[in-house]
Chain A
Amino acid sequence: MKSQRKLGILAFTMIFGVAGCASSLPPQDLVTARTAYDRASKGPAGQLDPADLHLAKEQLDAAEAAFQADGDTQNTRDQAYLAARKAELAEVTARTVLAKKTQAGVVDAMHADQSQAVADTAAELGRTKNQLSAQNVAYVAQGVALKDAQARAAQAAADLAKFATVKQEPRGMVITLSGSVLFTSAKSDLSPGAQLKLNDVANALTREDPVSKMVVEGHTDSQGSASSNQDLSQRRAQSVRDYLVTRGIASDRISAQGFGATRSVADNASAEGRANNRRVEIVVQAPPAAGAP
């Protein structure tokens, strides 16, 4: 009986001794699993791969439970081995997620860069296009202005040609009015018909060319003395000039000068030639170059 009790105590001690030994000395696999889980739980896995980290935790709990229940058995070691691998898997997966996020960020940034580049180019093109169309408008306006000026000048010449001879000469546009139309013989007073003609001249000059300076030149034939011819030509030129001023041509634009018979344009021997020499010329000087279109 005594020996039986001794044996019972021995068996008891053996069982609990082994269990105690087992709980104080966990297998290497379990130690590794604890460390692996500890490391994983402190890393990015908690944020980036909580599902795998949770599985690792469950596996570690299972290994701990097996160790508590059975001690250092093969099953405990297998469970611990799995727990260590699952913890590492959570870590690796978290790093993978991080790498993919970084990549996505880089790709997004690249796409944003591309979009920006496209937008910049489009904006640049838009600006260039606007500049070009503004230039185009300016060119068209210039062209219109030029055509306008040319048309006005042509119109002025055409209007004048209806009632007088108009010639373009180096000194300017020369409007020649016949003396026999303007004046009665040896007089410097304008005839009524001459006034009507000069009205048209004045209108054309003020309407079509309001800036050019002009000179009214009087000319006679060679009959009579040179001094009387000079005097007559001067007075005739002056009357035409004065009349034009009354018709609205600024007085500072227009002057008068007599030339007598000194600038004949035809033979004074014939009546027709003398008639051509008796004349008044209005010389419209070409506008200054800066004002030309």
Chain B
Amino acid sequence: MNKAILSLITAAPIVWGACAATVPPPVQRMADAESAQRSARELGANNEPSAQLSLKLADEQIAEARAAMKAGENQRAEGLLIRAKADAELAIAKAREKNAQVAGKDAVTDAAAQKATNVGQGAM
């Protein structure tokens, strides 16, 4: 009886391991994560410290996932890619926020200049 329980306990991780080995390489997740990573870079995530940090996290996790896939650790790679995509998407959002803020400041400057022109022309 003891032996049976013991063999069950030792067998379980092996069975799980076998299960893990059957997980296919997360190719689609890799493509999704890389796509988000590219978008973030194109939106200027590297120009905004907060967005840059999120993008760096994504970069690292994608690299780690690539290594894990090479080592056959597809399960681990999948988790890393899920995280990487979330970080890249956050970097995109932060870059967009930065762009909106810059556009807002530009608009304020433009408006002030416009108003000065109007006043200068004696219209107001």
Stretch at the interface among A106-114, A136-144, A169-177, A246-254: A106-114
Q: When the two chains form their complex, are residues B93 and A93 in contact, meaning their CB atoms are under 8 A apart?
A: yes
B41 at the interface (CB under 8 A from A): no
Given A78-B79, A117-B118, A121-B123, A107 and B107 touching (CB < 8 A)? yes
Given A113-B114, A113-B115, A114-B118, A81 and B86 touching (CB < 8 A)? yes
Between A and B, how many residue pairs show CB distances below 8 Å? 85
B111 at the interface (CB under 8 A from A): yes
8 A Cβ contacts from A93-140 to B: 93, 95-96, 99-100, 102-103, 106-107, 109-110, 113-114, 116-118, 120-121, 124
Q: When the two chains form their complex, are residues B123 and A89 in contact, meaning their CB atoms are under 8 A apart?
A: no
Q: When the two chains form their complex, are residues B96 and A78 in contact, meaning their CB atoms are under 8 A apart?
A: no
Of the four ranges (under 10, 10 to 19, 20 to 34, 35 or more), the interface on chain A belongs to 20 to 34
Please measure, in the bound complex, the distance between the C-alpha atom of A102 and the C-alpha atom of B103, giving whole angstroms. Answer: 10
B47 at the interface (CB under 8 A from A): no
Given the complex, which residues of B lie within 8 Å of A95, measured CB to CB? Answer: 97
A92 at the interface (CB under 8 A from B): yes
Q: When the two chains form their complex, are residues A103 and B114 in contact, meaning their CB atoms are under 8 A apart?
A: no
In the complex formed, the residue of A with least CB distance to B50 is A92
Distance (Å) between the CB of B121 and the closest chain A CB? 8
Among B94, B104, B115, B124, the residue within 8 A (CB) of A99 is: B104
Among A75, A92, A103, the residue within 8 A (CB) of B90 is: A92
Given the complex, which residues of A lie within 8 Å of B123, measured CB to CB? Answer: 117-118, 120-121, 124
In the complex formed, the residue of B with least CB distance to A103 is B104
What DSSP secondary structure best describes chain B's contact surface? Answer: helix
Please measure, in the bound complex, the distance between the C-alpha atom of A81 and the C-alpha atom of B108, giving whole angstroms. Answer: 38
Q: When the two chains form their complex, are residues A86 and B86 in contact, meaning their CB atoms are under 8 A apart?
A: yes
B89 at the interface (CB under 8 A from A): yes
In the complex formed, the residue of B with least CB distance to A114 is B114
Please measure, in the bound complex, the distance between the C-alpha atom of A225 and the C-alpha atom of B115, giving whole angstroms. Answer: 96
B1 at the interface (CB under 8 A from A): yes
Given A103-B103, A106-B108, A118-B123, A92 and B89 touching (CB < 8 A)? no
Given A7-B2, A95-B97, A106-B107, A82 and B82 touching (CB < 8 A)? yes
Given the complex, which residues of B lie within 8 Å of A114, measured CB to CB? Answer: 114, 118
A221 at the interface (CB under 8 A from B): no
A150 at the interface (CB under 8 A from B): no
Q: When the two chains form their complex, are residues A85 and B87 in contact, meaning their CB atoms are under 8 A apart?
A: yes
Q: When the two chains form their complex, are residues A110 and B104 in contact, meaning their CB atoms are under 8 A apart?
A: no
Distance (Å) between the CB of A274 and the closest chain B CB? 80
Please measure, in the bound complex, the distance between the C-alpha atom of A96 and the C-alpha atom of B93, giving whole angstroms. Answer: 8
B83 at the interface (CB under 8 A from A): yes
B5 at the interface (CB under 8 A from A): yes
Q: When the two chains form their complex, are residues B110 and A110 in contact, meaning their CB atoms are under 8 A apart?
A: yes
Given the complex, which residues of B lie within 8 Å of A96, measured CB to CB? Answer: 93, 96-97, 100
Please measure, in the bound complex, the distance between the C-alpha atom of A100 and the C-alpha atom of B111, giving whole angstroms. Answer: 15
Please measure, in the bound complex, the distance between the C-alpha atom of A120 and the C-alpha atom of B119, giving whole angstroms. Answer: 11
Q: When the two chains form their complex, are residues B100 and A78 in contact, meaning their CB atoms are under 8 A apart?
A: no
Given the complex, which residues of A lie within 8 Å of B104, measured CB to CB? Answer: 99-100, 102-103, 106
Distance (Å) between the CB of A9 and the closest chain B CB? 13
Q: When the two chains form their complex, are residues A100 and B83 in contact, meaning their CB atoms are under 8 A apart?
A: no
In the complex formed, the residue of B with least CB distance to A109 is B111
Please measure, in the bound complex, the distance between the C-alpha atom of A107 and the C-alpha atom of B104, giving whole angstroms. Answer: 9
A-B contact pairs, 9 of them (CB 8 A): A89-B90, A92-B93, A92-B94, A96-B100, A99-B104, A103-B107, A110-B115, A113-B124, A114-B114
Interface positions of B (Cβ within 8 A of A): 1-2, 5, 76, 79, 82-83, 86-87, 89-90, 93-94, 96-97, 100-101, 103-104, 107-108, 110-111, 114-115, 118, 121, 123-124
Given A78-B83, A107-B111, A118-B123, 16 other A-B contacts at CB below 8 A? A7-B2, A81-B86, A82-B86, A85-B90, A89-B89, A95-B97, A96-B97, A99-B97, A102-B104, A103-B100, A107-B107, A110-B107, A113-B114, A113-B118, A114-B114, A120-B123
